[in-house]
Amino acid sequence: MSKYENANKEKVKNENVTKNGIKKRDEESSFIRSLKPKVREFKRTIYMFRQSFLAMAGLSIVIFYLIVAALAPVLAPPEENQKDVYQRKVHYDEMHKDPSPEHPFGTDSMGCDVYYGVIWGTHISILMGTVIVGITVLIGSILGAMAGYFGGKLDDILMRITDVFLSLPSLILAMAIVVSLGRTLENIMFALIIVWWPAYTRIVRGQALAVRENKYVEAARAVGASEARIVWKHILPNCISPIIIQATMDFGSVVLTAAALSFIGFSYAGATTTEWGMMVSAGCRDITSGQWWTATFPGLAIFFFVLGFNLFGDGLRDLLDPRLRR
């Protein structure tokens, strides 16, 4: 009798193991099947992006600048006893030298290497763009999602504050903030953050107004999800496409505005600092005397930097916006 019971128990155990294995395989296969449309759509997106010449050109330029910034110590190694890599060493015995193998972009009126300034200026520009755009995206996304989802008085208050900032000329507002707080790198970044966040608040608020009416938001509210969870899990993720597009295109604009502040004298940078706007400003005085390279190469660095991010952002817009997608 005991042998018969043991055999039955073993049989039932084997059947349960088999059923669990089948159930697990079914779950895995259903998960794989659910991923197939996403993988197919991702491949189609990559294919369409590669078909766009301008988008690929923009991506290539962006990757080039990122590589230059990462390899700055190798491409333009600092001189001996150079304490600050962002400050070019002065060599008065090498003033206004033409471009040569020793100085590929020539030297300026103080004998500073223009090539060194352009390479390390890339490093500063990437750093500034990342910090400014990252913080403005964070602030604007949170405020915009709250205004769009909750509505009411909160929406009115946030939008009126946003309207005040948008009504002021951005460059003049940034100049006023820098003059008030002092001409340091931190204050320039703070000024540009104050100038840039309202645009993201407007964009995300408009998206949130549409997303909050969807069925899945009502379902999340019906099952008792908290307001914070709904905003974080359902509202913001569905507003990500316009945020990515705007952030990509703003990356170049932020660097251009920072260079403009330096060009007109509202800069933390000194004459030897590896900052593109300051180098263009200092080099403009040399153009009339024939030293065209001191302003041309930093100016070209700014031009292609902004062009690359604008083309890349425009390509992303064509892909992520269903109305423009071909």
- The residue with tokens 């946003």 is 162
Q: Given this model, what pLDDT does residue 269 score?
A: 67
The upper half-sphere exposure of residue 74, i.e. CA atoms within 13 Å in the direction of its Cβ, equals 5
User: Which one is the CATH code of 61-320: 1.20.120.1770, 1.10.3720.10, 3.40.50.740, 1.10.10.10?
Assistant: 1.10.3720.10
- Threshold 0.85, pTM exceeds: no
Which stretches of the chain score pLDDT less than 50?
Answer: 1, 4, 12, 17
- For residue 195 the two structure tokens come to 């100038």
Non-local (6+) Cβ contacts of 296 within 8 A are 283
Q: Given this model, what pLDDT does residue 17 score?
A: 46
- What is the C-alpha to C-alpha distance for residues 305 and 177, in angstroms, rounded to an integer? 26
Q: Given this model, what pLDDT does residue 18 score?
A: 56
Non-local (6+) Cβ contacts of 188 within 8 A are 128, 174, 178, 258, 261, 266, 267, 268
**289-294: Cβ within 8 A, 24+ apart:** 289/96, 291/96, 291/106, 291/108, 291/109, 293/98, 293/99, 293/105, 293/106, 293/114, 294/106, 294/107, 294/108, 294/109, 294/114
Q: Given this model, what pLDDT does residue 281 score?
A: 83
Among 264, 125, 239, 140, which residue's Cα sits nearest to residue 194? 140
Q: Given this model, what pLDDT does residue 140 score?
A: 92
Contact criterion met (CB below 8 Å) for 263 and 280: yes
The upper half-sphere exposure of residue 287, i.e. CA atoms within 13 Å in the direction of its Cβ, equals 10
The upper half-sphere exposure of residue 194, i.e. CA atoms within 13 Å in the direction of its Cβ, equals 20
